[in-house]
Amino acid sequence: MSLEDAKNQVDQAFTRQNLRGPSYENTFGGATSFLRRRYTKDLAGVDLAVTGVPFDQAVTNRPGTRLGPRAIREASALQSPDAPYGWGYDPMSEFAIADYGDLAFDYADVPAFPAALQAHIAGILNAGAASVTLGGDHSITLAILKAYAAKFGPLSVLQFDAHTDTWADDNMDRVDHGTFMYKAVKLGIVDPARSVQVGIRTDNPDTMGFHIIDAPRVHEIGNRAVCDEIRAVLGDHPTYVTFDIDCLDPAFAPGTGTPVWGGLSSAQAAAILRGIRGIDVLGGDVVEVSPPFDTTGATAIAGAHVAMELICLWGWTRRAQT
């Protein structure tokens, strides 16, 4: 290895010349960005920006997801630089994907937070890029959906979650991780009739018209039937995917604020995310990874895999169009 190679084949978060392509630096060292993408605030030429939102002030129980983006980035370094398994293509080589860093916000000014986040995502979308966001608690998805709806109109949402997050809350100024989907429907930015919630296992009689495939049903009908049902509802409608890591069973994702037993396994989630390829994904997020409760790191590992699968889903459709 030449001296020049030695300089460039480390810290590819900063040293990589090209937004595309694998990074073969040691996975155990160097500066960490999501999957060694370039860590940059320059969105020129970027197809998809991965961004972190370290906000956890809206939780009903255990906090800690403010540390989620950092943990997910670190866990992403465990993934192979080769093409992701089961997809037959490498989105990291075919698309310009950057780590856009974290949202800056005043942690003590919660009322000002949603607008700051919406502007952050709008900046990415208006630069012509898609976004995949690393949370943060689930309240963040409302501001992201507002930015998406402002550009694309009302969206389908595919939500993986133990909870529907549709508990009634007509105070639009409240910032709450359990009511954001209620608000999204009331604001008209999500079309519930063309949206699906997967993995639900907490009671909330008002479904608001969402198509729910609850966790017992996932276990009963199996992955392939779940994928068929998701496709049937979403069709080719523009879709935002939000993945609350508590969709997974606490055995697979203990590091989260409101764990509920009876959830999906990592294998089920992987099979379903890969089995719905072809839906029109405009962007997504993985939320509620709480490192202080993640005793083995398994939750952050799952979160990093989910983020990668979201990128694969987004790229699959875009790739088919080009």
Which residues are at the interface with Mn ion (CB under 5 A)? 138, 161, 163, 165, 244
Task: Compute the least distance from the CB of residue 177 to Mn ion, in Å.
Answer: 6
Report CA-CA distances (Å) from 65 to 125, 185, 302.
24, 25, 14
Annotation-wise, does 163 bind a ligand?
Answer: yes
Task: Compute the least distance from the CB of residue 1 to Mn ion, in Å.
Answer: 46
Collapsing DSSP to helix, strand or coil, 280 comes out as coil
Q: Between residues 165 and 309, which has the closer beta carbon with respect to Mn ion?
A: 165
Which positions ≥6 away from 205 have C-beta within 8 Å? none
Task: Compute the least distance from the CB of residue 186 to Mn ion, in Å.
Answer: 17
How wide is the angle at C-alpha 108 spanned by C-alphas 107 and 109, nearest 5°?
95
Q: Between residues 77 and 117, which has the closer beta carbon with respect to Mn ion?
A: 117
Annotation-wise, does 165 bind a ligand?
Answer: yes
Closest residue by Cα to residue 156 from 242, 89, 86: 242
Dmax over CA atoms of the chain, in Å, equals 65
Q: Between residues 178 and 291, which has the closer beta carbon with respect to Mn ion?
A: 178
Task: Compute the least distance from the CB of residue 68 to Mn ion, in Å.
Answer: 13
Annotation-wise, does 177 bind a ligand?
Answer: no
Annotation-wise, does 237 bind a ligand?
Answer: no
Report the Cα–Cα distance between both ends of the chain, in Å, rounded: 37
Collapsing DSSP to helix, strand or coil, 156 comes out as strand
Annotation-wise, does 120 bind a ligand?
Answer: no
Q: Between residues 99 and 165, which has the closer beta carbon with respect to Mn ion?
A: 165
Binding annotation for Mn(2+): 138, 161, 163, 165, 244, 246
